[in-house]
Amino acid sequence: MKILVTVKEVAAVEDEFEIDGLSIDERYLEYDLNEWDDYAVEAAVQIAEAADEDVEVVAATIGPERSEETIRMALAKGADRAVRVWDDAIAEQTLLDVDAKVSVFEQVVAEEEPDLVLTGVQAADDAFGATGVALANRVGYQWAAVVNELDYAAGDDVATVRRELEGGIEEITEVDLPAVLSIQTGINEPRYASLRGIRQAQQKEIAPHDLSDLGLDAETVDGALELVDMYEPESESDATIFEGGAEETASELAAVLREKGVVGE
Partner 1 sequence: MSEDVLFVAEHRRGDLRDVSYEGITAGRELADALGGELHVAVISGPVEEFAASLDTPEVDIIHTIDAGEEFDHDTYAAATEALHAELEPAALLLPNSVNGLDYAPAVADSLGLPYATDAVDIAYDDGLVVTREMYGSKVETTVEVAGDQFVVSIRSGEWAAADGAGDAEVTPFEFDDSGVDDGARVQGFEEVGGGDVDIGEAEFLVSIGRGIEEEENLDLIRDLCDATGATLSASRPIVDNDWLPKNRQVGQSGKQVTPKVYLAIGISGAVQHVAGMKGAETIIAINTDPNAPIFDIADYGIVGDLFDVVPALIEEFN
d(CA 26, CA 119): 26
Going by the DSSP 8-state scheme, the letter that residue 86 receives in this structure is -
Cis bond upstream, residue 178 (ω within 30):
yes
Task: Label the pairing between strands 116-120 and 179-183.
Answer: parallel
What's the closest the beta carbon of residue 119 comes to partner 1, in angstroms? 11
* 195 lies in the binding site for partner 1 (CB under 8 A): no
d(CA 144, CA 152): 13
Please choose, out of 51-59, 174-182, 192-200, 205-213, the segment that lies near partner 1 by the rule CB under 8 A: 174-182
| 241-260 positions binding partner 1, by CB under 8 A | 241-242, 245-247, 249-251, 253-254, 256-257, 260
Q: Which of 11, 68, 156, 213 is in the footprint of partner 1 by CB under 8 A?
A: 11
Please enumerate in sequence order all residues whose Cβ is within 8 A of that of 230, keeping only pairs 6 or more positions apart, or say none: 19, 21, 22, 23, 24
Query: For residues 98 and 206, which CB has a smaller minimum distance to partner 1 in the complex?
Result: 98
d(CA 49, CA 57): 10
* 104 lies in the binding site for partner 1 (CB under 8 A): no
Please choose, out of 58-66, 119-127, 193-201, 212-220, the segment that lies near partner 1 by the rule CB under 8 A: 119-127
* 220 lies in the binding site for partner 1 (CB under 8 A): no
Query: For residues 152 and 201, which CB has a smaller minimum distance to partner 1 in the complex?
Result: 152
Amino acid found at 239: A
Going by the DSSP 8-state scheme, the letter that residue 184 receives in this structure is P
* 92 lies in the binding site for partner 1 (CB under 8 A): no
Q: Which of 92, 173, 194, 210 is in the footprint of partner 1 by CB under 8 A?
A: 173
Q: Which of 30, 52, 88, 166 is in the footprint of partner 1 by CB under 8 A?
A: 166
Query: For residues 207 and 218, which CB has a smaller minimum distance to partner 1 in the complex?
Result: 218
Q: Tell me the three state secondary structure of residue 43.
A: helix
Interaction mask 123-152, partner 1, x per CB under 8 A: -xxxxxxxxxxx-xxx---xxxxx------
* 53 lies in the binding site for partner 1 (CB under 8 A): no
Residue 185 to residues 93, 127, 239, 249, Cα–Cα distance (Å)? 29, 14, 31, 35
d(CA 247, CA 245): 6
Query: For residues 74 and 179, which CB has a smaller minimum distance to partner 1 in the complex?
Result: 179
